[in-house]
Chain A
Amino acid sequence: MSPMLSIDFGNSFTKVALRPDMDAATVPVKDESLTWDELNLCVPTLAASHERGGKLNWHYGTDVVRLRQATGGLKVHRNWKPRFFEGPAAPTGNGVPLRKPVAAIATGELPPPPGMTAEAWDITQAELPSAQATALWERLGGAAGSTAPAEGETDPDHKQIGFGFFRWLRTFVDPVCRRQIGRAAAEIPVRVSLPSFSSMAGAELLLRDILEEAGWKLDDRTPTLREPLSNAIGTFTKGANVTHRNRTAPHYGQMFQNTGMLARMRAASLGNKQPKTAWVLVVDVGGYTADFAMVGLDLEDIDAHVEGQIDGKPRLAHMSKPLGVTDLDQRVRRAIPEEKRAALDAVIADPDQQRLEAFHKGCFGHRGQHVLKWGVAIGETAAEKGNIRDTIGRFAEEVADDAEGFLSVHQYDRIDDLILTGGGTLIPAVRDALCSRLNYYGVQKVHTYLTDGEPPPPAVAVHRLGYELVRGATAIGGASVYFDFAGG
C-alpha cells in the first residue's frame, strides 16, 4: 500500500486530500463539521489566542469557529499564511517585526513595485499608498476579506501559529485516515501545495520544517508542489491514479483519458510535427485578485521537473493582479441607484457570505437581476440591468486584458489547455471573455465548471469539471501518483 496525503494550504481555507493507494482514486478529506461549505472539505486556516483566567490558550481551525466571535479576550489571527512569503522582516524598536514590505509601502518607506500607479487603477494619488499595499498584500496571497495591515501593527509569530495549526490539522485528519485506510496521518507521506511566487525558497524550507515538527511525514521525493501544477494535474486526472508495469510507472493513458493530453503525448513521442510542449494556463479569479499561472508540460518527457525554459519561455510563471469579485461588487454598487446601495452594502458586510453568493449568481449570471430583500431588486429595470451588464462586461474585458498582458510579458504564444478556477470565472461574462480572447492562442480545451443548463463559451471545446473538482483540484492533484514519478 502506498497512500499519500496532500495539503492545499490556502489563505482562508485549507483542503486535504487522501490517496488510499497507488492505484486508488484521490478523494478530498471531508468532515460533516465543515458545514460552511457544501462539500464539507474546507478547513478554516484560522488561529486564535484566548486569554482566560490569566492564561493564554491557543485554538486552531474549526476549534476557532466553535468560539463566539465577540468572546472577551479572544484574538483571531487570519491571513497569516502570506507572512511566510513576505521575506525577511525588519525589526522595530520593541523587537517585534513589522509586516514587510507591505507595511513599508503603506507608510511610504518603500517604493511600490512598477506598474502600480494611480492612473493605471483610476484612483487618486491620496488613495494610492493604501491601494498599493493592499494589492501587494493580495499578490502575496492575502485572503478575501483581509486588508493590508495598519501602520505600526505588529505580527504574532507566524512560525508558531503555523506549527500549532499544522499540528491541529494532523489530529483533525487523523481519524479520517484511520477510518479509510487504517493508518495514522503521521505515518502517511504528505505533500503541500504552495503559491508559485518566485522568491519562496525560504518559505518553502520553513514550512517543511514546521510540518515535520508538527508530526507530518513529508514525502521524500516531492514534499512541496506549485499550486498551478497541482491544480492542472488534479483537473486533468480528475483524481484518477493508475500504474502499470508492476507499479513502476504511471499509466498516463488511463490517467489523462479525459483530455487531449494523451493524443498529444503520443504524437510527440512518434516524432510527428507536433508541438513538444503542452502549455496550460490556469486563471484563478478570486475575491481580491486575478491570478494567472502558466505551466509547460514537456510532452516528450512528461515526468520532467517543471523548471527552466522551453524556447525561451519559462515553464512555470505566475502573475497576480489586484482585480477580483470584491472589486466588481463595488463597481456594480456604483452602477445601481443610490437608494439600493445600502441594502447591497449590508449583504456585502454580512460575515456569512451566502447572501452575497446568491447575489453574485443572480446578478452576475445570465439572469442579470437579484432581489436582495422585499422591495429591493437589483437589475429591476431594463436600463439598470443594462448598466450592470456593461459593468460586468468591462470587468470581464479587464480580466481578459490582464490575461493577455501576462502572456505578453513572458512571450507565450500558445495555450493548449485553459483551466478556469475561482468564483470569478463562474461569471459567464468573464468566462466568455477569457475564452473568446484566448482562443487566438489556439486553446484546445477549456476546463471549467458549467452546469447542464448553461450555454458553453463560444468557439471552444469544453471539459466540464465537477463541482468537487473545481473546489478541490489542487488538493486532489497534489496527491497524484504522477508526482511519485515526476518532479514537482
Chain B
Amino acid sequence: MEADRSEVSQLVLGALETALQQEGESRLVPQGKKKGLLPGGASRAKSEAVHQCLDAKLRLFVVREVVEGGKTAYFVVPTPEGIEKLFTQRPAQRGELLEKCANSYKEAVKDVVHRLAESELRQVVAQQTQLANRAAELRESVARMASEQLDAIRRTKEDLDRQAADLRQLIDEQPKTPGDGGDVARTTRRIEPPRTDGDIDFQRDLCRELVFAWQDTAEPDTRAALERVMLNSGLAQVGEVGAAVAFDGREHRTESDLLPGQPAVVVEPGWQYRSPRGLLLIAQAVVAAPAHRTEVNDVAHA
C-alpha cells in the first residue's frame, strides 16, 4: 500500500520549516523523549518522509549519522535545495518563513527568495507579452472584419441608391393623371413628428398663426375650414361650445364676474399645441357665467 503523497509532502515541508527555525543541526526522527523534526509514531507516510529527507539525490538536508544505544540517529541541516523546495511549495507564507528562520539561514533564504522572485517575474512578463500580442492580433482582426463589413454595407447602399434612382426615373417617365397611383404614393408618405429645434419652432409658429387667423375671423365657414387644418396640424381644442366647466383663469377668459371653481359655460373653444417640448396654450377658451346665474345677478344688481 502506497503512502498518501500529499501527507508525505506536508511532513517533509514541516521538517524543513522547523529545521530552518533552529540554529545548527536538528534531530530528524524523535527518539524516546528527544523530539525530532518529524512527528513520533510509525506510519507509512512518516517512513516515506524519512526516506525523502535522507535521500542524497533529493539533497534536501545535509545528514550526519550517529549511533546511539545501538540505533542510528540522523541529525540534519537544510540545504539550499531544501530551502528552495519549501519556499516554492509555500509561496503565500514566504514573508512569515523568512521572518521566523534562524539567523544562520537568513542569507541563504534571501538568496532563494530573490531567485524565485526573479524566475516568477520572468514568467509573468512572458505571459504579459503573450497577452499583449494576442490583444493586438484580436484588435487587428476586429478592425479588418469591421472594415470589410463596412465596405459591404457601403456597396449595398450604393446598389440600393442606384435602384431607387432607376425606379424614380421610371415613375417620372410614366404618363401622369391626377390621382394616379404614383402621386398617391408620394403624397401619402408618413410625416415624421418634428424632432429638431428648427422643426419644432416651425410647427409651433405655424400653429400660432392658424389660431390667430381663426380668432380674427367671424365667418363660420372660414372657421370650419381653418379648424380642419388646425386639427390636422397638431392643435387640440380646449373645451366644447356649451360645455359646463369650472372657471379657471389659467385656461379660460371671461367678461363675467367669476371666481375660480365657479360654474361657467364655454362660449368659444381655446386651442393648445403639444410639442415634443411640452404643452403650449395658444388661446384660452372664452367662458361665461351660466344664463340662470347671470339672470340672478342682473336681478340682484337691479
Contacts and interface: CB of A to CB of B under 8 A. Distances in A.
Interface of A: 30, 32-33, 35-41, 62, 65-69, 71-72, 352, 354-355, 358, 361, 373-374, 449, 451-454, 466-468
A374 B216 contact: yes
Contacts of A41: 278
Contact of A358 (B208, B216, B280): B208
Contact of A452 (B196, B205, B281, B284): B196
B197 A358 contact: no
Contacts of B251: 35
A350 to B, nearest CB: 11
Contacts of A354: 208, 282
B209 interface: yes
Contacts of B201: 451, 467
Given A35-B280, A66-B260, A451 B216 contact: no
A38 B280 contact: yes
A38 B275 contact: yes
B200 interface: yes
Contacts of B186: none
B279 interface: yes
A68 B254 contact: yes
Most chain-A Cβ atoms within 10 A of its Cβ — which of B198, B254, B272, B278?
B278
B250 interface: yes
Interface of B: 196-201, 204-205, 208-209, 212, 216, 247-251, 253-254, 257-260, 272, 275, 277-282, 284
A316 B181 CA distance: 67
B103 to A, nearest CB: 45
29 contacts: A32-B279, A35-B250, A35-B251, A35-B272, A35-B279, A37-B278, A38-B275, A38-B277, A39-B277, A39-B278, A41-B278, A65-B250, A66-B250, A68-B258, A71-B257, A71-B259, A72-B257, A352-B284, A354-B282, A358-B205, A358-B209, A361-B205, A449-B197, A451-B197, A451-B198, A452-B197, A452-B198, A452-B199, A467-B201
Given A65-B250, A358-B208, A467 B278 contact: no
Contacts of B212: 355, 358
A373 B260 CA distance: 33
Contact of A67 (B198, B204, B259, B280): B259
A453 B208 contact: no
A373 B280 CA distance: 22
A68 B287 CA distance: 11
Contacts of B254: 68
A40 B259 contact: no
Contacts of B216: 373-374
Nearest to A467: B197
Given A65-B249, A452-B199, 6 more contacts: A30-B278, A35-B251, A38-B279, A66-B250, A67-B259, A68-B258
Contacts of A355: 212
Given A373-B216, A374-B216, A451-B196, A66 B249 contact: yes
Contacts of A467: 197, 200-201, 277
Nearest to B278: A40
Contact of A35 (B197, B258, B281): B281
Most chain-A Cβ atoms within 10 A of its Cβ — which of B201, B209, B247, B248?
B201
Nearest to A69: B249
Contacts of A30: 278
A8 B248 CA distance: 26
A41 B201 CA distance: 17
A361 B216 CA distance: 20
A466 B219 CA distance: 40
B13 to A, nearest CB: 43
A278 B208 CA distance: 41
Contacts of B260: 66-67
A66 B278 contact: no
Nearest to B252: A68
A473 to B, nearest CB: 15
Nearest to B272: A35
A382 B282 CA distance: 32
A69 B249 CA distance: 8
Nearest to B280: A38
Contacts of B250: 33, 35, 62, 65-66
